[in-house]
Amino acid sequence: MPESEAGRDDESVPASPVLEAELVAAPALDGSAPGTEVARWQQVTLLPPTWRARWAARWGSRAIARQTVRDAIARVLRAPWRAVAAVARGAVHLARAWRRWVRVHDYREAAEQAEKLADKFVEIRALALFRWKITVAVLVVSGIVVAIAASINGPRVLWLLAVTAAVVLAWVGRRRDGAPGRTAVLAGPRSLTWTMDPQVLVDAFRDAKLIGKDETLRLVERAHRQGKGWAITVDLPATRKAADVIKQRDALASALAVDEVQLIVERVRGRGGHAGRVAMWVADEDPYATPPIPTPLITADQWDAWVPVPFGRDARDRRVALPLVWTSLLVGAIPRQGKTFATRLPAAGLILDPHTRLYVFDGKGGKDWKAAESVAYRFVCGDEPAHVEAVRDGLVELVAETQARYARMAELDDVICPESKITPQIARNRDLNMPITAVIIDEVQVYLENPTKQEVGERKTTIGGYIAELLTYLAKKGPAAGIIVILATQRPDSKTIPSALRAVLGSRFALRVMDWRDSNIILGEQMNTRGYDSSKLLPSHKGVGILRPDGESDAGADTVAQMVRSDYMPNPDWRAICERGRALREAAGTLDGHAAGDEANRAVDPAIVIRALGAGPAPAENDGPTPGLPEPLASVVVHLGDELNRRPFVPTAELVAALGVEPTGFGRDMGELGCAPRPGRITDTDGTVRQVRGYITADLRAAVERYRAGG
């Protein structure tokens, strides 16, 4: 939008200078030059850039210079067509304005509003006839003057008159219908250039109830092309937060007349950002309707596990990489949404590193993971009792290995091991025998739900509960020792994956699920209230999900979550990667375990594992005292603590306020766990006794005991 147009727009407040003096540069796409001239003007402070800044912005690099030349050529080539279109719009606009004037439209509307149209009909007709006479007189006089001038000076007068008329009409029609100062005449879908206009944007924020009627937005960065869409950055009014805009993204998309999939809203963080600065991007069309993009790992000769693995692309087609060391990953979805394909992406990066060790367990029992058998240190495929026991034994072996690694690191000097953490040098030292080790479990619910009774020390549990404890320990204590836990499930509910295990899984990827509760189980509590709900994803968007990266990643430092389309890796490419990984291990001499024909698990003293599980880090505040307790029962038990045995009754209002949950959903979830709310009496501070609904603590204790005994 030209600067002069921005100056006339009272709602976008470009007439007053922006108080912040810093410039916020638009993010570049994969290192390429920005797409438009406006984008290269760095930041819009509502003052034109200096000639030095303009020179640096235009000619600071060869890429920008080439793009500037291309923009200039495109402008020249489009100029004739744009001029003709502007003249046509101006002619139509003047014709409509003349028609309203000659029909005395303003006088007629005033009479209609005063309900005196019948009384004023004669006056309106007389005034309309008088204006017709003026029109005819002006045309006749103008025709005579032009004819006389043409007879004296020749056809030059006609050419001059035509050029003057064209310039005037082009100036009048310089804006399209719907731009600020113009009224849309024909109903229909809006163009994105109109949608991202500052005045239309202000109206959309007001319609979505994100700002008040008397509030406006401050333009930080003009609307400009970025990739296959439009980007703009604005400041919200004081006390308004960007988090609220992200939460109400659907309402804003409706006000802008675009699909919510096309709208990306982010808070601008870091230097130049604050809690009220919003960066918006609107795609020209559905960014996920294009064919899937193959993973770049297909053409990679090998990979380094310490380098983030290519995982997918966001709506702006920017590459999203997923770090694996120091964290863990949970992938959840309903069937046939790309869960296994997404899980195999980080596994492929690890396979292409010959210095990694893989424990691959497939609870489905198909051929999705069969190719990984050729590189896996431990491999289990199936859900028979023998398979479940093999998974348990493999995890027991890995817990003992974790304890042994900490013991070996404690004996290393500060040069080799400066902290109690693994390093690339330690991981690749064959003598130390501490390679990066990943345990990958697809359909993990198959193993976690196994009801077979199991004794662990003096405690009675199930094999499923024992496996959950082992995985929780590995996810808590394993990352610093080079242990990576990657879990995938098509049943993301609180009964399947215990809260203690979910709480320690750093990265989450939620593809389409059935409802917001399942989405929250994968992404974290209350994530749907922050605008991230994978149940709203379209069924046609295979492989599209919400990624909540760990805080250690680049995206995790500034982004709570982001929508990502995972890369595509069909079975032939997956098998080729596994074959390449085996060849790399054979060349490096690191092929071992199941892949080398060694099926025997290392002998482990059960007492070591029992002590490790008992001496592990204390559960997080929301994990509950028992790993097997489902949510929200675990959170209720943690909140009550010792009062669970002392208080006979707990009001629902107290639990809802303490846990920050939605009352209806909380009551439904507790009812499914066998704890239905009942009426009870409480005494207020003034001694008044009143009846409220709540939970009998005896019911809560019975539910806890029931789940401790295995459900």
Tell me the CATH number at 277.
Answer: 3.30.980.40
Tokens of 260: 């919510």
Q: Specify whether 604 is located in the same domain as 686.
A: no
18 vs 562, which has greater pLDDT? 562
Residue 343 shares a structural domain with residue 466: yes
Q: pLDDT band for position 343 (50/70/90)?
A: very high
* 616, part of any domain: no
CA distance 147 to 517: 80
Domain co-membership, 359 together with 432 = yes
Taking 90 as the threshold, does the pLDDT of residue 375 lie above it?
A: yes
- Indicate whether 628 belongs to any domain: no
pLDDT of residue 349: 95
Cβ neighbors of 132 (< 8 A, separation 6 or more) are: 102
Least confident segment among 101-115, 276-290, 649-663: 101-115
Are 104 and 53 within one domain?
no
* Res. 34: pLDDT tops 50: no
Q: What value does the mean pLDDT take over residues 316-321? A: 88
Q: Is residue 625 part of a domain?
A: no
Question: DSSP string spanning 165-208?
Answer: HHHHHHHHTSS-TTSTT----S-SPPPHHHHTSHHHHHHHHHHT
Domain boundary among 263, 283, 303: 283
Spell 98-127 as b/e; 16+ CB within 10 A means b: eeeebebeeebeebeeeeeeeebeeebeeb
Q: How many CB atoms lie within 10 A of CB 704?
A: 22
> What average pLDDT does this structure show over 427-438?
92
CB 475 within 8 A of CB 520: no
Given this model, what pLDDT does residue 347 score?
96
Instruction: Assess whether pLDDT exceeds 60 at residue 264.
Output: yes
Structural domain contains residue 297: no
The number of beta carbons lying within 10 Å of the beta carbon of residue 573 is 17
Question: What is the rounded CA–CA span in Å between residue 193 and residue 179?
Answer: 9
Model pLDDT for residues 158-202, shown as the tens digit of each residue: 888 888 888 888 887 776 544 444 444 333 344 555 556 677 888
Residue 451: C-alpha distances to residues 78, 124, 248 (Å): 71, 89, 43
pLDDT of residue 176: 55
What's residue 656's pLDDT?
79
Q: Is residue 371 part of a domain?
A: yes
Mean pLDDT of 48-77: 61
Please say if the pLDDT value at position 593 is more than 80. yes
The better pLDDT of the pair 186, 55 is held by: 55
**Euclidean distance between CA atoms 263 and 286, whole angstroms:** 10
pLDDT attached to residue 178: 44
Give the pLDDT band (50/70/90) at residue 470. very high
HEC letters along 331-389: EECCCCCCHHHHHHHHHHHHHCCCCEEEEEEECCCCCCCHHHHHCCCEEEECCCHHHHH
Query: Which of 86-100, 231-245, 591-605, 622-636 has the weakest average pLDDT?
Result: 622-636
Q: DSSP character for 561?
A: -
**pLDDT at position 18:** 46
Record the tokens describing residue 9, joined without a space. 């727009």
CATH number, domain of 507, equals 3.40.50.300
Across 650-669, average pLDDT = 78
pLDDT of residue 398: 93
**Same domain (yes/no): 392, 490:** yes
**Is a pLDDT exceeding 90 seen at residue 577?**
yes
* pLDDT bucket at 312, cuts 50 / 70 / 90: very high
Q: In whole angstroms, what is the distance from residue 243 CA to residue 249 CA? A: 10
Residues 492 and 581 in one domain: yes
For residues 593 and 585, is the Cβ–Cβ distance under 8 A? no
404 plus 464 within the same structural domain: yes
Report the domain count for the chain.
Answer: 4
Domain boundary among 172, 199, 224: 172
Chosen domain end from 611, 645, 675? 611
Q: Angle formed by the axes of helices 571-588 and 339-351, to 10°?
A: 20
Q: What is the CA radius of gyration of the chain?
A: 34
Percent pLDDT > 70 in the chain is 78
What's the rounded Cα separation, in Å, for the pair 594 and 573?
A: 22
The answer to whether 551 and 326 have CB atoms below 8 angstroms apart is: no
Q: Which of 437-446, 450-459, 460-469, 483-492 has the lowest mean pLDDT?
A: 450-459
Q: Are residues 147 and 121 both part of a single domain?
A: yes
Cis geometry, peptide bond prior to residue 354 (ω within 30 degrees of 0): no
Residue 290 lies in a domain: no
Q: How far from the centroid of its chain's Cα atoms is residue 416's Cα?
A: 39
In degrees, rounded to 5, the angle at the alpha carbon of residue 308 between the alpha carbons of residues 304 and 314 is: 145
In b/e form, how buried is each residue of 278-308, taking b as 16+ CB within 10 angstroms? bbbbbbeeebbeeebbebebbeeebbebbeb
Q: Are residues 549 and 598 in the same domain?
A: yes
Q: Rounded distance, CA 403 to CA 396, Å? A: 11
In a domain, 293, yes or no: no
pLDDT bin (cut points 50, 70, 90) of residue 377 is very high
Question: How many beta carbons lie within 10 A of that of residue 636, not counting itself?
Answer: 26
In this structure, are 210 and 329 located in the same domain?
Answer: no
494 vs 517: CA distance, rounded Å: 9
Q: Which backbone phi and psi does 595 adopt, to 5 degrees?
A: -65, -25
Rounded CA-CA distance 360/663 in Å is 41
pLDDT for 484: 95
**Where in the sequence is the domain holding 145, given as residue range(s)?**
67-172
**Domain with 683 in it: what CATH number?**
1.10.10
Number of neighbouring beta carbons within 10 Å of residue 630? 21
Write b or e for each residue in 476-506: b if 16 or more Cβ atoms lie within 10 A of its Cβ, otherwise e.
bbbbbbbbbbbbbbbbbbbbbbbbbbbbbbb
Q: What is the pLDDT of residue 299?
A: 92
CB 372 within 8 A of CB 364: no
* 271-275, 386-390, 554-558, 682-686, range with the lowest pLDDT: 554-558
- Which amino acid makes up residue 68? T
Mean pLDDT, the chain, integer = 79
pLDDT at 113: 62
Q: Is the pLDDT of residue 275 over 50?
A: yes
pLDDT score for 625: 41
Task: Tell me the average pLDDT across 98-123.
Answer: 70
- Whole-angstrom Cα distance, residue 83 to residue 173? 9
Token output for 349 = 């990066």
Percentage of the chain exceeding pLDDT 90 = 23
pLDDT of residue 175: 62
pLDDT at 603: 63
When pLDDT is cut at 50, 70 and 90, the band that residue 686 belongs to is low
Question: 53 and 76: one domain?
Answer: no
Single-letter code of the amino acid located at 699 = D
* Residues 41 and 90 occupy one common structural domain: no
Q: What is the pLDDT of residue 187?
A: 36
Question: Does position 501 have pLDDT exceeding 60, yes or no?
Answer: yes
Q: What is the pLDDT of residues 477-495, one digit of tens each?
A: 899 999 999 999 987 776 7
C-beta of residue 493 within 8 angstroms of C-beta of residue 481: no
pLDDT band at 456 (very low <50, low <70, confident <90, very high): confident
Task: Name the token pair of 704.
Answer: 């806890």
Q: Give the count of beta carbons closer than 10 Å to the beta carbon of residue 398.
A: 26
Q: Which band of pLDDT confidence, cut at 50, 70 and 90, is reported for residue 588?
A: very high
Residue 620 lies in a domain: no
